[in-house]
Amino acid sequence: MAVTKMFGASVKRREDPRMITGRANYTDDVRLPGTLSLVILRSPYAHARIKSINVEKARQMPGVVAVYTGKDLVDSLAPVPCAWLPPNSDLKVPEYRALAVDTVRYVGDGVAAVVAENRYQAQDAAAAIEVEYEMLPAVVDQEKATQDGAPQLYADVPNNTAFVWRLAGGDIDAALRDADVVVSQRLINHRLIPTAMEPRAAVAHYNPGSGELTLWCTSQNPHIHRLLMSAVTGIPETKIRVIATDVGGGFGSKIPFYAGEMIAVAISKDLGRPVKWVEDRRENFVATTHGRDHIDYVDVAAKQDGTITGIRVKAYANMGAYLSTAAPGVPTWLFGLMLSGPYKIPNISVEVHGVLTNTTPTDAYRGAGRPEATYVLERMMDLVADRLGMDPVEVRRKNFIPKEEFPYTVATTLQYDSGDYEAALNRALEIVGYEQFRKEQEAARAQGRLLGIGFSTYVEVCGLAPSQAAGAMGFQGGLWESATVRVHPSGKVSVFTGSNPHGQGEETTFAQLVADELGVPLDDVEIVHGDTGRIPFGMGTYGSRSTAVGGSALIYAARKVRDKGAKIAAHLLEVSPDDIVFDQGRYYVKGAPDRVKTFQEVAGAAYLAWNMPEGVTPGLEETHFFDPINNTYPFGTHVCVVEVDPATGKVQFLRYVAVDDVGNVINPMIVDGQVHGGIAQGLAQAVYETAVYDENGQLLSGSLMDYALPTASMVPTYEVDRTVTPTPVNPMGLKGAGETGTIASTPAVVNAIIDALKPYGITHLDMPLTPQRIWQAIQESQKGS
């Protein structure tokens, strides 16, 4: 049987058939006998004191087993933890109770929990709970929240400021002082709602006999959730099994550790019965973390020739009512470190105020901090170009880090691994036909048609690592990954990975890696993930790290297996291991290819262990923990072409070109899919999606009737291409492809629309660029003239 090289092949996703035929096993599909249905009553007010809660009526309702308030859970559950504690930032972590004890701080804050025999009964009973609230003034805007006299969420967090974080490299004051021009702009990176297809859910099954807890939940990082669940409940880690195998998307929102899952566990433990909790869509809108919500004041220092000499950013990040698990790291490290982008900017200074408001807590959302940084840079590049009368492409080109200078250390201290930014830019320009487009644009403008082109030349940090850096940043976890490769006696292979794919396709790509390393058919490789009962340990899937870090761990484990196999084969063939050649699943003697043992024969021999070489133990299973020496830095150029209808402000997408460099590519089709989905999300931020609160903290965009997730008909056809610049930091030379699309696309789209509006003298508009906002801007521009 011929085994071809799988690395680089567009193998169809093995996980898809079960998912698209409704046979996946999501948390809600877990049906245990005797399961109770949990409904959490949530605050309808953004800020209020709970004067009283009367649960008597609810307790009497049919099917109701128990009702809990915040006070009832204080002893069984420690507060919801925050696990990213940036040092030197005067961080204050307010107490976050699973159910509010005396004060609610956002619409959606948990107030009481009902368990009943079925969901309808629990829902009816929740509606019968009587809560008396004393309204308190609310604040939703992070800048207003820091002002004196603003409503205070916590007595011990003055001015609602949870932290102030700073990072500087070079001398920004000198750069601004000596600049030919200083371009300043306030930029809003508005709030988004991750809206994974599968809302959050949990089935908690505490067995009072064994003291063991099994928790099925929607998690990107089940081992971390196990650790935190142990910490808040006191159940030893050894007695907890977290299973999150089929997860319907996360986009960062399933990294945090949440109250809902904690409540389900506490109640299951209390009652000794399984408890199921499944968010409905409206609950998901308020009870699962939101993303972005950043206001940036930016000053860029530039020379007349377009050279950028410095950038200063003062940012206000809206953290919501509590600090979610990874939240403080997102607007700080993941944002600030990336403020050099693909450019040589010698002087950088950033100050970020993390502000608590009466809104749903924010946390990582696809890209997490890096889209915010890219938006700042790419919007500013266009503004600088505009001010200097230069082509936006030329300003970018002028400031690129040249390919000869890698590895390159930017002013924020990161060391970029490898790059060739001009190559990607040039390829994108070629595909889009840039010069020709500018001519068409001119002709169209003469007819009153508004065509525009926008660029985003980005670099992002991926493959989040190493653990030492995590420690320096106050991240309460490691950033390595583990893999166990277990070869069964038949030669079939099980891989236990600490990564937890939830849509990214690693059940396919990881199998491709193993098929190549061990020379076995793809179908002989099983990828096991998302189960703490089966996998040694894992840090999880986020930050485009699964393949770069988890995949590398897997490569090393597979190589250990292969090497052990070589020793066994050599012994069986009675030659020295140095004389063994391994090729496509066959161990043969150098120069004598007919003296051969197949991988499967060697696996069988390893388990029989009748005839093992000296010092070699039976079995064929290896584990590897991989902690890379550095992150990876994918990059590229995205170009968007639009036409704006001046009568309505409506944007039509004409073209979208993406040239990404993610290093080597295991499965081009899957990477294209990641890029497509990422572009859709980033583009949606630019023009469709926005979470809107009113002044009282009511979420006005709290349903899919108001919150505009894009459908296929709302996005353009993507023209996707790649350049390939391998990274030296992992054995495969690949960088990570999960977030590039989201990071790159938002500014490309905004820049295109602003370019289209140039005839009106418009140089900046804040997102989302809805038809109304564009139409209004056109109206206003004409008032002046």
Partner 1 sequence: MYPAAFEYYRATSVPEVVQLLQQHPDGKILAGGHSLLPMMKLRLAEPAALIDIGRVPDLNGIQDAGDSIVVGATTTYWNLLQSDVIRQSLPLITEAANVVGDIQVRNRGTLGGAMAHADPAADMPAVALALDASMKVVGPNGERTIPASEFFVDMFTTALSPDEVLTQIIFPKPQGTSGQAYEKFAHPASGYAVVGVAAFVTLDGGKVQTVRVGITGAGTVAKRASAVEQALAGQEPTEQAIESAAAHAAEGLELNGDIFASEEYRAHLARVFTQRALSRAVAAARG
| Footprint of partner 1 (CB under 8 A) | 119-120, 123-124, 127, 280-282, 647-648, 650, 688, 692, 700-701, 704-710, 714, 770-772, 775-776
- Closest to partner 1 by CB, 124 vs 198, is 124
* Residue 57 beta carbon to partner 1: minimum distance, rounded to whole angstroms: 15
Minimal distance, residue 281 CB to partner 1, in Å: 7
Task: Give me the least distance between CB of 275 and partner 1, in Å please.
Answer: 17
In b/e form, how buried is each residue of 652-674, taking b as 16+ CB within 10 angstroms? Answer: ebbbbbbbbbbbebbbeebbbbb
Contacts of 778 (CB under 8 A, 6+ apart): 646, 649, 757, 760, 762
346: which residues sit within 8 A by CB, 6+ positions away? 169, 170, 175, 309, 310, 411
**Comparison of 93 and 692: residue with beta carbon closer to partner 1:** 692
Structure tokens at 571: 């012994």
User: Do the beta carbons of residue 50 and residue 126 sit within 8 Å?
Assistant: no
Q: What is the smallest separation between the CB atom of 706 and partner 1, expressed in angstroms? A: 5
Tokens read off for 549: 């870090």
- Smaller CB separation from partner 1, 409 or 782: 782
Query: Whole-number minimum distance, CB 513 to partner 1, in Å?
Result: 39
Nearest residue (CB) to partner 1, 54 versus 118:
118
Q: Least distance in Å: CB of 445 to partner 1?
A: 21
Complex with partner 1: residue 654 or 708, whichever CB lies closer = 708
- Residue ranges of the alpha helices (H) in 183-280? 222-233, 259-271
CA 69 from centroid of its chain's CA atoms:
33
Residue 628 contacts residue 729 (beta carbons within 8 Å): yes
Task: Between 122 and 162, name the residue whose CB sits nearer to partner 1.
Answer: 122
Give min distance, CB of 668 to partner 1, in A: 31
DSSP 549-605: IIIHHHHHHHHHHHHHHHHHHHHHHTS-GGGEEEETTEEEETTEEEEEEEHHHHHHH
Amino acid identity at 667: N
Least distance from partner 1 to the Cβ atom of residue 718, Å: 19
Whether 499 contacts 546, CB under 8 Å: yes
Is residue 190 a contact partner of residue 293, using CB atoms and an 8 Å limit?
yes
490 vs 772, beta carbon nearer partner 1: 772
Give the separation between CA 383 and CA 454, rounded to whole angstroms: 12
The smaller minimum CB distance to partner 1, of residues 492 and 773, is found at: 773
List the beta bridge partners of residue 313.
298, 350
CB of 71 or CB of 650, closer to partner 1:
650
Check: CB of residue 69 under 8 Å from CB of residue 111.
yes
CB 700, min distance to partner 1, A: 5
CB 649 → partner 1: shortest distance, Å? Answer: 8
Nearer Cβ to partner 1 (284/598): 284
Task: Look at residues 465, 369, 414, 372 and name the one whose alpha carbon lies nearest to residue 735.
Answer: 465
